[in-house]
Amino acid sequence: MAVAHLLLQLSAGVNGASRNRMLIPAILSILQLIHLAGVDGAASFRFTNACQHPVWVGALHGASSPPLASSGFYLARSATSRLDAPSSGTWSGTFWARTGCAVDSATGRFSCATADCGTGDVACQGRGPAPPVSLVEVTLAAPGSGGQDFYDVSLVDGFNVPVRVAPSGGGGDCRPAACAGDVNAMCPADLRVVASSGSGGVVACKSACSAYGSARYCCTGQYGTPATCRPTNYSQVFKSACPSAYSYAYDDTSSTFTCSGASSYDVTFCPGTGS
């Protein structure tokens, strides 16, 4: 907006209507370019469902961040959708895919086989997912601040669907973060969540923390620091399937990604093995 105001003042200062007729379209197309590049605007989140099945996206804003326009929505196979981050201030939040969702014909309640948010509705309304769930975590710097965004894929609460988050249009490292591998197929028997109806296949893989609740697996108590909470035989299963995702709470060194001024974050469910 400030840029637009300045450029229009400049064009008004040029003598002669004929020059203005040339200048104004040129200025408008420059402004369009600036807008497309996201220089003066907030980032958007673009969701793509590349899975062979529908997903119901969940979106949860951080405690000190405003909610987005939707907290949960249906995303058909091959469909895309978009949510915009707020135009000012920092924003943090998480995204995930729910699977195996249906409305109970007797009660009218909506619920999902994995990552249900417990509202009985497609909207999650400020509630988070029930683990196991693959989480996309994002913290965006205030638009125009030049600060860094942080993003990651976390398997700290287990895994349900492969997912990738990739910035576009930013500067800096800006690599995609992903868990593209099918952890369900390699899930240790004692961590498997099996579909209650249908095929009986593995629909999700618990974290060792939620399966056993021990301080060692949960990085709590005497294991509550990066130095004392080390990889375990369970976290190593997640790490080998998904090297760039968090496999346990203090798995920071290989799992946090940064980018500055990205215009969008593309969240793809079932991205395939390409990055």
Ligand X SMILES: *[C@@H]1O[C@H](CO)[C@@H](O)[C@H](O)[C@H]1NC(C)=O
Phi, psi of 85 (to 5 degrees): -75, 160
Amino acid letter, residue 6: L
Closest approach, Cβ 210 to ligand X, in A, equals 15
Closer to ligand X by Cβ: residue 234 or 250 = 234
Q: Rounded CA gap, 173 and 219, in Å?
A: 29
Of 15, 196, 233, 253, the one binding ligand X (CB under 6 A) is 233
Of 159, 234, 250, 265, the one binding ligand X (CB under 6 A) is 234
Closer to ligand X by Cβ: residue 73 or 234 = 234
Contact 217, 209 (CB under 8 A): yes
Asked if 146 interacts with ligand X (CB under 6 A), we say no
What is the total count of residues that contact ligand X (CB under 6 A)? Answer: 4
Closer to ligand X by Cβ: residue 47 or 234 = 234
Closest approach, Cβ 89 to ligand X, in A, equals 43
Closest approach, Cβ 230 to ligand X, in A, equals 13
Stretch that binds ligand X, among 22-30, 88-96, 117-125, 229-237 (CB under 6 A): 229-237
Asked if 250 interacts with ligand X (CB under 6 A), we say no
Asked if 213 interacts with ligand X (CB under 6 A), we say no
Q: Rounded CA gap, 203 and 193, in Å?
A: 6
Closest approach, Cβ 234 to ligand X, in A, equals 6
Of 66, 188, 213, 272, the one binding ligand X (CB under 6 A) is 188
Asked if 231 interacts with ligand X (CB under 6 A), we say no
Stretch that binds ligand X, among 13-21, 66-74, 148-156, 232-240 (CB under 6 A): 232-240
Q: Please, which residues have CB within 8 angstroms of residue 108's CB and are 6 or more apart in sequence?
A: 120
The upper half-sphere exposure of residue 248, i.e. CA atoms within 13 Å in the direction of its Cβ, equals 27
Closest approach, Cβ 216 to ligand X, in A, equals 9
What are the structure tokens assigned to 35, written together? 């807008």
Contacting positions for ligand X (CB under 6 A): 188, 233-234, 237
